[in-house]
Structure 1
Amino acid sequence: MATNAAQFLMQENVWYDKWRCEDAEKAYQEKLAGAHSGLVVQGSQSSIVNEIARARQQIQNSLSNSGQGLAVGVGVDNSEVINRLNNVEQENQALRQVAADLRSLIGALTSRVAALESASGTKPPAVAAPKAAAPSKADEDDDSDDDIDLFGSDESEDEELEAKKADLVKKYQEKKGKKPALIAKSNIILDVKPWDDETDMAEMEKLVRSVQKDGLLWGASKLLPVGYGIKKLQIAAVVEDDKVGTDFLEENICAFEDFVQSVDVAAFQKI
């Protein structure tokens, strides 16, 4: 069976002409491909040209429209800017005028103060001269002005002011000298302890209050329990710091050794 098939194939001429078929098919396919590519190229080129032309037209339109809008916008902005600049210049001129007025006013005040200080020697400005009385009719009819003194009144007023000031300073110094000096005082609370519960606390308080000195003033007192029936005497005193101190009080109270065991400062406060 296989041998018959091989013999049959060997008798067919198609196998020997295969390259011709392939060449013909290749040429046919190339011809078809060339025609199709040409159409595509031509179509694509025409579409690209149209797109480029359309893009150029859009660019020209946008440029023309933007140029017109820019011109209009610039005109509006320029007018607003010019108006604002004019307003700013006017305000600047007004401010400069105000500053110039202030400078002239300050200069006038400075010169006036300097003149007043030089006249009174850095003293309060002189009181304004009293208003002159209205001239009588007889004075108006008199044409002679020999008795008019333009400068004598200022000198007399300065002398009067100096005398008044000296009098005021003298009175102030006298008043200040009479004012009493501030005296420093303190409030002291003492704890006076007895020896035992048999100590006469009333007598001990009497002895404590017997301590007297200029600048010492005894105050209220009370008995406070310590323990085991013993009580201590707590007494207040107001002293002048320059005259009486705690050492003086402790030394003089402890001198009553039959009644007093010890003295402690419970509180000390400046008044």
Structure 2
Amino acid sequence: MATNFLVHEKIWFDKFKYDDAERKFYEQMNGPVAGSSRQENGASVILRDIARARENIQKSLAGSSGPGASSGPGGDPSELVIRIASLEVENQSLRGVVQDLQQAVSKLEARLSALEKSLPAHRATAPQTQHVSPMRQVEPPARKVATATEDDEDDDIDLFGSDEEGDKEAARLREERLRQYAERKAKKPAPVAKSSILLDVKPWDDETDMAQLEACVRSVQLDGLTWGGSKLMPVGYGIHKLQIQCVVEDDKVGTDLLEEEITKFEEHVQSVDIAAFNKI
């Protein structure tokens, strides 16, 4: 089936035979001299390229201008002279900068040595001058009172007298003034320590009257207890808790006492928690 199909195609299967016959025909017409002359022409071209390359290499080595030698080290000498001149100018400027830096360093060294020489003399003369600080002139009130008491005692006591009555009177006055000073110091009120407490009061269920619960909480009255603001906070399932602020004196009211007094209202209060506790 494949051969029958190829029979109807117009394909030149024997083209290579015709090509060989055409090549042999032209070889017979031109003769073998043509092939040898073509080879000789190719060799002469290669030799000519080699000779030209050798000539270029010799020119570049000799430093003369030629093809391929302009970009090498044997280029225009004027450019090299210009570069050398610019380098010399830059070298001169750098030398000037270095000299300026050396002079500045020498000046700094001289100033440092002069300061080091003058420092011991300043330290030796410093203790001779005493400066009174303004802060030292202010004395605490206790020292002032004690000093005033001592001054009054010195005024009342006659140091040059030998009278025993004067000594007894001075001792009595001193004891009286010390007693008065101690009484005044004892009467001075001490600072009261206070704390700010934020309480969470939880009801039993959503049917608890929160207004009545807050009224019960505020009905707790203790010495050193002051109630502040309050608000209702949602807990869940329609239940709200009462969040109330109070200020207590630490020496009079404690958190345990406060919780115990609030939880006495068992019909409304389920539990009491401390949400925040801060010292004032």
TM-score class, shorter:
0.3 to 0.5
How does the TM-score come out when normalised to structure 2? 0.43
Report 1 or 2 for greater relative contact order, CA contacts < 8 Å, sequence distance ≥ 6.
1
Instruction: Please say which structure displays the higher CA radius of gyration.
Output: 1
What TM-score, normalized by structure 1, do the two folds share? Answer: 0.44
